[in-house]
Amino acid sequence: MAVTGAVLFLFIIGHLAGNMQMFAGRERINAYAAFLKNTGELLWVARGTLLLALTLHIIASAQITLANWRARPVGYAFKRDIETTYAAKTMILSGPLILLYVIYHLMMFNFLVTGPGYSQTDVYGNVIKAFQTPAIAGVYILAMLMLGLHLSHGIWSMLHTLGISNPRYHKLRRIVAPAIAAIIAAGYISIPLAALIGVLKY
């Protein structure tokens, strides 16, 4: 779970860095998209790695969830949370919702099978067209808020599992993990907001 989560986390950061080039203008983001498409086999290796990491991440999450249920088949008569957080308790919900949005997002921007007449080459124009539609922008923003919530616990747990588990770092992880998650979510959300208010124009 932690290793595949780390792979997906690195992709999320890299994808955000690429998306932020929207603010550099049409030529910059379109050139970046063309560069990615022209990497040929490397692009498919990256996609295959991501698909494998995602599949293993889903399997690991299902195994952990089932193990937790088997460990306590009967619920608590009285339950008071001490260490857990809202992000941790909603991982079982946020994960599948994010996956559903990723599929929708790929259909829109990669496979171009949904949306208002997208171009094969003008990525900038496609993004603006999409996010100037309030419903599409709203769904994206909600999905990124869900991603931030998921990452908030995911980063904390990943750091703990991969060895940063000394008690002296406990409070630091509790601060750093949600802070990083919030920055990532805000970065993604800035793009549809900029399109909606006219900072990014077609």
- 175: pLDDT strictly greater than 60: yes
The two tokens of residue 49 are 């790695």
Dihedral over alpha carbons 138, 139, 145, 146 (to 10 degrees)? 160
pLDDT at 70: 85
Rounded CA separation 95/102 (Å):
11
CA atoms within 13 A on the CB side of 4: 14
pLDDT at 115: 67
* DSSP-assigned states of every residue in 41-76: HHHHHHHHHHHHHHHHHHHHHHHHHHHHHHH-SS--
Q: Could you give the 3-state DSSP secondary structure of residue 134?
A: helix
Which residue type is seen at 76?
Y
Tens digit of pLDDT for each residue in 67-100? 987 887 776 655 565 557 888 888 989 999 999 9
Rounded CA separation 57/2 (Å):
8
Q: How far apart are the first and last CA of the chain?
A: 41
Q: ∠15-177-85 over CA atoms, to 5°?
A: 120
The per-residue pLDDT of the chain, averaged, comes to 90
Rounded CA separation 118/140 (Å):
17
What value does the mean pLDDT take over residues 98-127? 88
pLDDT at 137: 96
What value does the mean pLDDT take over residues 146-170? 87
Tens digit of pLDDT for each residue in 35-72? 999 998 899 999 999 999 999 999 999 999 899 878 87
